[in-house]
Chains A and B, each alone.
Chain A
Amino acid sequence: MQLFDIVFYVFALITLVSGGIVVFSRNIVYAAFALLFTFFGVAALYVLLHADFLAVTQVLIYVGGILVLLLFGVMLTNNVISVEIRTGTVQTIPALIIVAIVAGTLAGLSYATWKGVGAPAAAGPQTTTGTLGQMLMTSYVIPFEIASVVLLVALIGAAMTARRHRNS
């Protein structure tokens, strides 16, 4: 086993175990904090795939933004610990159908791309940042602009909602 494999399995284990805690923990604060390790593990897996920009963005957006916001929400809620979260099975048949579809898609995808897996992506480009920027400004400029407009609409909507609350 090479160093690469050991590092991969360590981070995969961190991701899976903390993801398990997020799903199965009855304490919502534990679940929120476990999410930190999940995001971190996924970012590490991106690094191992030579997607350096994506990895750092993952940490910045998900840990620095979304997780902090989530923790704020959890902590500002009253009596958050006394609430017992129940994980039970409801709507078994729709859930089974969705799980079957997702599992089938994933299995098909991994079967179709199986040959590429195995060899480490050592031949990949040294850095992805420049290429990503170039692509976003040339080939994918319309999706990029649409995404920014969507975000702007969300921003204005959030500001409006907050403002109306204060006036009433």
Chain B
Amino acid sequence: MKEFLIDLLHNEALVYTLMAFVPLVWVVPFALFAVWWERKISAHMQDRLGPMRTGGYHGWAQTVADILKLIQKEDIIPSAADRKLFILAPYLVFAGSYAAYAAIPFSAAYVGSGINIGLFYVISISSIVVVGLLMAGWASNNKWSMFGALRSAAQIVSYEIPVALAILAVVMVAGTFDLQEINRLQTGWFWNWFLFQKFPFLFVGSIIYFVASLAEVNRTPFDIPEAESELVAGYHTEYGGMRFALLFLSEYANMFAVSAIATTLFLGGWNSPFGEFLSGPFWGLFWFLGKGMMFIFVQMWLRWTLPRLRVDQLMYVGWKVLIPFAFAVVIGVGFWVMAVR
């Protein structure tokens, strides 16, 4: 895609700028309709109908109407808030979550930046989100926001360890950090996916990754940073209008980013599950988004099924369950890879 654009425009700077905007074409509509989707799923799980009126067919335009309303809202900054940081924080949070999309391979023909270090980059760049959340919480000058931000940061910092270890196990099998290369190694039928390689080590690793990634994006059962019953809404309590929309957008962008990484690492990324059946750059995009949306559905399903963990239970799950199992996976995969070679 990059070569095609360079041929078309003859200007490198313009092409790179355009390439940087491509994932936005997916992220914004995804966030918009994922909110509607989540409301519908929750409604059906609770034997309700959910939004039904706006737009005609099952209320599909509900979130479009919501975003139009949010854009028109008055821009309120609390008088006791720290003005500069309060304004900067939502942009920083979104920049952090969008930066991860630079290395995510949407299809064989499109990856924002085909860097060798892609996977490691995605893990590390998400730490900007943590700083952004802390900034939002602190600048709001509100105890609920502050506690939400501190909880969120503590949670993300502890769950980064099992995530990194699960990813390390995959890297040991693949021998590369390059996400496109990891995809290419899984080409073929679905038993070539890393999910079923080195069984059962990477299978356990994928479960560890999924559970820990739920905590990284503050989803139920790990949503204590925005526990409504104790903290109102966590770090975005004081935000309204467009700034709130931006924080919400980055939350959904993060959800899809971790799903995309799980897809790439364990479910073969843009590869078709059935060998050559429906493969190719365009169908690759279809399979990639489809697998990613499956993870999104599981995240929503869990949200409306499981209760919220307490803080001490959260730390128990992270440090005493996920990390020992993740170490076992890494050691097991290490011995296997060494023995085979």
Contact = CB atoms under 8 A, between A and B. Distances in A.
Interface of A: 3, 29-30, 33, 36, 40, 52-53, 56-57, 59-60, 63-65, 67-68, 71-72, 75-76, 126-127, 129
- Say what secondary structure dominates the interface of chain A: helix
B134 A68 contact: yes
Nearest to B132: A36
Contact of B124 (A59, A76, A126, A129): A59
Q: How large is the interface on B (under 10, 10 to 19, 20 to 34, 35 or more residues)?
A: 20 to 34
A76 B82 CA distance: 17
Describe B's contact surface by its main secondary structure: helix
A65 B130 CA distance: 10
A67 B134 CA distance: 11
B160 interface: yes
B314 interface: no
Nearest to A126: B116
Contacts of B301: none
Given A59-B125, A75-B138, A33 B131 contact: yes
Nearest to A29: B138
A75 B127 contact: no
B121 A56 contact: yes
Contacts of A60: 120, 123-124, 127
Contacts, number: 71
Contacts of B125: 59
Contacts of A52: 115-117
A7 to B, nearest CB: 9
B153 interface: yes
B85 A33 contact: yes
Contacts of B121: 56
Given A36-B131, A63-B131, A64-B157, A53 B120 contact: yes
Contacts of B160: 64
Interface in B127-146: 127-128, 130-131, 134-135, 138, 146
Contacts of A29: 82, 85, 138
A56 B157 contact: no
A71 B117 contact: no
